[in-house]
Amino acid sequence: MNATETPPANLDVLLDVPVSLTVELGGCLMSMREVLQLGVGSVVQLDKVASAPVELLVNRKLIARGEVVVVEDRFGIKVTEIVSATPQP
């Protein structure tokens, strides 16, 4: 089903259920001492390179990858890949 198709009636009840959408830029491992030393202007180095795609997660499940874009004064995500539910050979 693509975004322009009408969903089947039995799915209609689920379409308004709120979900948590998270965009993960990367991560790092820090000691509590390092975390407590963070302040305004601190830079935290992440485990991904700047050109790497960000991951979009719905309820902690990876659903897509994309790239960060700026829309007016806000950040956004341009989806570049939808993650398949079944692994590709």
Write the pLDDT tens digit of every residue in 51-66. Answer: 889 999 999 999 999 9
Rounded to whole angstroms, how far apart are CA atoms 1 and 5? 6
pTM: 0.66
Domains and CATH numbers, the chain: 13-82 (2.30.330.10)
Rounded to whole angstroms, how far apart are CA atoms 13 and 16? 7
What confidence score (pLDDT) does residue 12 get?
79
Q: Which residue has the tokens 């007016």?
A: 72
Which 8-state DSSP code applies to residue 60? T
Which residues of the chain are modeled with pLDDT < 70?
1-4, 7-9, 86-89
What confidence score (pLDDT) does residue 31 get?
96
